[in-house]
Amino acid sequence: MLLRLLSLFFYFFFISVTGSAIQRHVDIVEANEGIDGLIEGDIRLTDKQLRELNNADGNRVKRQITTFKDHIWPGGVVYYFYDDAFSQEKRTLMKSAMELISSRTCIKFVESKTEKNVVRIFDENGSCSSHIGYIGEGEQKIWLGDNCQVIGTFVHEMMHTLGIYHTHIRYDRDDYVTVNLTGLPENLKKNFNKQTPEMTINAVPYEYGSVMHYSTNLFAPRTILAKQYGYQNTMGLSIVSFYDMVNINTLYSCGCAVHLDCKNGGYTNPSNCGQCYCPYGYAGKLCDEAPPGAILYTATANWTIQNIKFGYDDGSRTNTFLMSYAWISAPADKQIEVQIRQLDVVMCAEGCPYNGVELKVNEDPRITNPVYCCNADLMGEIVKSKQNPTPIVMFQRVGKSGVTIGYRYVDKPASPATTPTTTTTTAKPPTQPPTTTEPPCETTTPSTTTTKATPAPAPSTQSSTTKSPGQTPTQPPTQPTTTTTTKSTPPPAASTESPTTKPPTQPTTTTTTKSTLPPAPTTRVPTTEEPETTCQCTEECHSTTTETETCQCTTSTEETFETEECEKEAGTIHIGDECQDSCI
C-alpha cells in the first residue's frame, strides 16, 4: 500500500514537472479486477480447459491442462488479425511488441483473417489477458484494453499466447520466493498453485526480472517475497529480459546451423544468424562492445564520482522504454567496486514501471540484477562486480532522471582452490547480501570531473543496442546518457579522468550541466558484524497455537520482516504451514 501511495505521489510529481500526464501504470491483475474466468490473474481458459478445471478434486486446480509439447504454434508461425475497433495507437504498440519478439527468436507473426487457427487481438472491458499457447480450435483471442498500454504488458500476453507461463508458479519457485497466503480468500489461493515437471520445462534460471514475473503485491500486499537479497522491486518489471527471449527460443527449438563465438553470455540470434543476441549492456556482432551511445568510464584506485542523466531532454512520455548505458572498465587484474549513491527524479514503485537503474555485477551477465528506483533501497552498499567492464543499465518512460554513482578498482581476490561452477536452474540463490565494504570517505578538497556524451540516433524498434536489427537485448530504441559535470567532494585523490563516449553513427548535440554531489550514505551499510535488532510491532494477528504479531525489525544492516513463530514479544508471524524467513 505504501509503495502504491508513493507511486501515485511521484506520478503527480511527474505531471507537474513534464506538464502533462503519462498513463498511470496499472498492473495486469489490477486491470483485470472483476473479470471472471481467469486464472493467475490474466490467463483465459477454453471450454475444454474449464471442464477439466471443474472436474478437479477439491480446491486444487489441475494444472496439466496442457503440457509444453501440446501448445506450440506449428512452425513457430502465429497468424493474427486486429478487431476493427482496436485503436491505431494499440496496433502500433503491438507491432513493436511483435518485432521485439521476432527480432530475437525464430517466431514469425503473420497478419491474416483467412487462416483457420488465428489470434484475434481486441479490447474488451479494459482487460489484459490471453489464452495459453496454441489452441488449434479456430479463433483464439488476446484481450488488450486501455490499462495494458505498456510494451511489457503486450509482450507478456503474447508470450502467454506462445505458451509461456508465469514465473512465480514454476515448480522450483520455493527456492527463490516465499508465497504468503495469509489472509488471502480461498478462491484466490489457487492462483499460486505450482506447476509440475511433467507440465513444463524450466529452460532458464529463475528470473526475478522476467516480464512474466508478477510484482510483490499479487492479489494482496506482499504475497510474493523475494528470498534473494535486493530483488523485491525487481519482480514485476515491464522490461523484457534477455532470458524471456531465451525461454521462447528453447520452447520452439530455435537455432542456427553455424554458431558464432558470442561473448558475455550472448548467443547466435535465430532471427539473424550472422549476429549474436546480446544481454543488456553489451553490443557488437559478438557482444564484446559497449552499446552505441554508451558513456565509457575508466576506474582508478581512487574513488570517482559521476552524476549521469538519462531519459528525454524534451520531457517526452512513451509506453516503451528508452535505454541508456554506461561502461566502467578497469585493468584485467583488478576488480571493480561500484556504488549507487543517489537517484534523482526517479519514481519509486514496485516493479519500477517508469524508470530504474541496474548494475550488471552478477557472475551471469544474462540474468537481471537488482533494479533500483527507490532511494530507500540503496542502503549505501558498495558492490564488488564480477564483470569487467561493468555495464550500468538505465531505462526511462517519461522525462529525465539521474543517478549518482561512485566507482574504483581494487585487487582481485586470490583464486579459489577449486574451479567455480556455473549456476544452474536448480541452484538455490544466496540469501545474504552482496559482498560490501565501507563507503568511500569524503574529503574537504573538491575536485571537478567533466564528462561528455554524444548521443547516438535511436535505432529501429528491432534493435536497441546494436547496429543490426534483432541483435539487441529486449527493448525499443536505445538513446545514450548524458553525464553532467559534477562538482563534488570525492574521496582523496579522486580521479579526474574524463570518460569517453562510444562514437555514434551520426552526430547529435551534447548537453552539459552542473550538479552538486550529495553526501555519501553513512548509515545502514551492511557489515560482517552481528547487528542488534529492535522491533516495532505494527499489526496483531492470531494463530491456533499462539498469539503472534507482525513486526518491522530494523537492524544496523537492513530492514527485515522476521517470520519465525514465537511469542508475542518477539514480533513474528506464522505463514502457512511453516515458519519462513524473508528479507524485503
Which residues are known to be catalytic? Answer: 157
Of 251, 250, 278, the closest CA to residue 262 belongs to: 278
Element of type H or E holding 188: helix 186-189
Residue 71, annotated as binding a ligand? no
Q: Maximum Cα–Cα distance for the chain, whole Å?
A: 74
Element of type H or E holding 156: helix 151-162
State how far the Cα of 59 lies from the Cα of 62, in Å rounded to an integer: 9
State how far the Cα of 151 lies from the Cα of 153, in Å rounded to an integer: 5
State how far the Cα of 434 lies from the Cα of 379, in Å rounded to an integer: 12
Cβ-based neighbours of 529, under 8 Å, separated by 6 or more: none
543 to each of 272, 368, 550, 560, 574, how far by Cα in Å?
A: 58, 38, 12, 21, 7
C-alpha cell read off for 84: 476493427
403 neighbors 331 (Cβ within 8 angstroms): no
Side-chain-side CA neighbours of 574 within 13 Å: the count stands at 14
> Which backbone phi and psi does 293 adopt, to 5 degrees?
85, -5
Reduce the DSSP state of residue 373 to 3 states and report it. Answer: coil
State how far the Cα of 497 lies from the Cα of 499, in Å rounded to an integer: 6
C-alpha cell read off for 574: 506464522
State how far the Cα of 407 lies from the Cα of 299, in Å rounded to an integer: 7
Of 95, 63, 371, the closest CA to residue 211 belongs to: 371
- Which DSSP state fits 568? G
Of 297, 307, 311, the closest CA to residue 394 belongs to: 311
Residue 160, annotated as binding a ligand? yes
> Which backbone phi and psi does 569 adopt, to 5 degrees?
-65, -25
Q: How many CB atoms lie within 10 A of CB 581?
A: 14
105 neighbors 267 (Cβ within 8 angstroms): no
Residue 168, annotated as binding a ligand? no
State how far the Cα of 5 lies from the Cα of 450, in Å rounded to an integer: 38
Binding residues for Zn(2+): 156, 160, 166
Binding residues: 156, 160, 166
